[in-house]
Amino acid sequence: MTQPKPNPAQSVRLMNVGKNYGAVCAVSGIDISIEPGQFVTLLGPSGCGKSTTLNMIAGLEMPSEGRIMIGDRDVTAVKPADRDIAMVFQSYALYPHMTLYENIAFPMRSRRRRTPEPEVNRKVLSAAKMLGLESMLDRFPRQISGGQRQRVALGRAMVRTPTVYLLDEPLSNLDQQLRVQMRSELKDIHQRLGATMLYVTHDQSEAMTLSDLVVVMSNGRIEQVGSPRELYNNPANLFVARFLGEPGMNILDGVVENGRLRGADFDFALPEVAANAGDRISAGIRPEDLQRDPRDNPAIRGIVRTVEYLGSRSLVRVGVGERTITAFLPPSDDIPAGAKIGLSPSDPDKMRFFQTDSGGSLHHPQKTSG
């Protein structure tokens, strides 16, 4: 028996896409280029324009400007039903009176599609197999767990064999443990399907673990596009530096004097990239790149505020001048709250430097504003 071929994964391109709701600018200047089969995440705080962007790709919203391509096709003005995409939402309403089988089969039985029943059956079983739902297809939604319901919603998208999957915070209704489990299942499903997936989340750890490429957004604009590694190790600006990581990068705003960065309770030599870049520089250092420094003149001087013992390490919050910074220290370091502590970077090359005023990284080519 020859099986109908699944639709090939497609590329997606957004070119200078913007959306206004009356006087409200939801997003603007969005340029994204997604290769076929990539897992790409739109990441940013609530209200930054992730859903608006995804809805425009789905065709649920019309862009106010710019163009959207799926494969070689300009779909900017194409109806959602003619775009060959499938969307999974946070609130994935399953039909309570239908079995899981009927729920998954539903999109194929719509008036528009009218898929022949043998094909419906084949596709439902194949999706159920991939999602580990085979043994429960005759159950009703109320008889399964939240995670299983989310898998049914995914199955309903899969049977449409779309060229692009769009997922808007699909895991955010699940409890933490289930979220982590579904996250790795989703990654596995993506690998097996080889599909193009565009995923929206405000959760940076989801974005980091799932994605080939992450698009960091804030205030309706793109802050940076890159692999999780690139974003983590070389954030383009202070927003990305603070947003990625748990907790985010520590930022010390200081004044440059004689090649050193100075501020309340810190003082250290600047590398070449930062020494001549202006009077006000912000230094960034990740919590895991700090170590205790018992010398008289550590780079950073502070007072221990709290210590969270995490087993493999401790998360120590340290008051430095007016700010609080965080450091991951060995769990064997038993440090009482209120103690004085000296800290310095374990590897100065891992520090990142930013223009305090613009927030732009000194390690990235300077962008012309616009």
- Give the whole-angstrom CA distance, residue 320 versus residue 90: 40
* Span near ligand ADP by CB under 6 A; candidates 48-56, 130-138, 273-281, 341-349: 48-56
Establish if 38 lies at the interface with Mg ion (CB under 5 A).
Answer: no
Q: Which is nearer to Mg ion, 92 or 353 (CB)?
A: 92
H or E element that contains 243 = helix 238-243
- Gyration radius from the chain CA atoms: 25
Cβ(278)–Cβ(253) below 8 Å? no
Give the total of residues touching ligand ADP (CB under 6 A): 11
Closest CA to 200 of 17, 11, 44, 33: 44
Residue with the shortest CB distance to Mg ion = 51
Q: How far is the CB of 45 from ligand ADP (least distance, A)?
A: 7
To Mg ion, the closest distance from the beta carbon of 200 in angstroms equals: 6
> Residue 21: which of Mg ion, ligand ADP, none does it interact with, CB under 5 to 8 A by kind?
ligand ADP
Q: How far is the CB of 353 from Mg ion (least distance, A)?
A: 33
Name, in order, each residue with C-beta under 8 angstroms of 288's C-beta and a sequence gap of 6 or more.
Answer: 328
Residue pair 99/178 in contact (Cβ under 8 Å)? The answer is no
Does position 51 bind Mg ion by CB under 5 A? yes
Return the range that interacts with Mg ion (CB under 5 A); candidates 12-20, 30-38, 44-52, 215-223: 44-52
Work out how close the CB of 210 gets to ligand ADP at its nearest, in angstroms, rounded to a whole number.
Answer: 17
Report the SS3 class of residue 297.
coil
- The CB-of-146 to ligand ADP minimum distance in angstroms stands at 22
Using the rule CB under 6 A, is 162 a contact of ligand ADP?
no
Name the 3-class secondary structure at 266. strand
| Beta-carbon contacts of residue 117 (< 8 Å; ≥ 6 apart) | none
Residues 50-69 that bind ligand ADP (CB under 6 A): 50-52
Name which of 219 and 234 has its Cβ closer to ligand ADP. Answer: 219
Smallest gap, in angstroms, from Cβ of residue 319 to ligand ADP? 33
Task: Give me the count of residues in the chain.
Answer: 370
Which of Mg ion, ligand ADP, none lies near 24, with the C-beta cut-off 5 to 8 A by kind?
ligand ADP
48 sits near ligand ADP (criterion: CB under 6 A) = yes
Question: In the bound complex, what is the minimum distance in angstroms from residue 247's beta carbon to Mg ion?
Answer: 24
Of residues 205-264, which lie at the interface with ligand ADP (CB under 6 A)? Answer: none
Among residues 89 and 140, whose Cβ is nearest to ligand ADP? 89
Distances (CA, A) of 169 to 96, 127, 291: 22, 21, 36
Cβ contacts of 63 within 8 Å, gap of 6 or more? 17, 18, 19, 56, 76
Pick the stretch among 7-15, 18-26, 310-318, 324-332 that binds ligand ADP (CB under 6 A). 18-26
Measured from the CB atom, the residue of 60 and 269 that comes closer to ligand ADP is 60
Encode 299-360 in three state secondary structure. Answer: CEEEEEEEEEECCCCEEEEEEECCEEEEEEECCCCCCCCCCEEEEEECCHHHCEEEECCCCE
Number of helical (H) and strand (E) elements in the chain, helices listed first: 9, 20
Is 53 a binding residue for Mg ion by CB under 5 A? The answer is no
**Shortest separation between residue 63's beta carbon and ligand ADP, angstroms:** 13
Which residue in 2, 3, 23, 24 binds ligand ADP (CB under 6 A)?
24
Task: Measure the CA–CA gap between 170 and 201, rounded to whole angstroms.
Answer: 8
CB of 172 to ligand ADP, least distance (A): 11
When asked if residue 47 is in the footprint of ligand ADP (CB under 6 A), the reply is yes
Task: Give the binding-site size for Mg ion (rule: CB under 5 A).
Answer: 1
Cα distances (Å, whole numbers) of residue 76 to 57, 139, 149, 251? 8, 40, 32, 41
Please return the burial class of 242, using the count of CB atoms within 10 Å of its CB with bins 0-12, 13-18 and 19+.
Answer: middle
Residues engaged in binding Mg ion (CB under 5 A): 51
Residues engaged in binding ligand ADP (CB under 6 A): 21, 24, 26, 44, 46-52
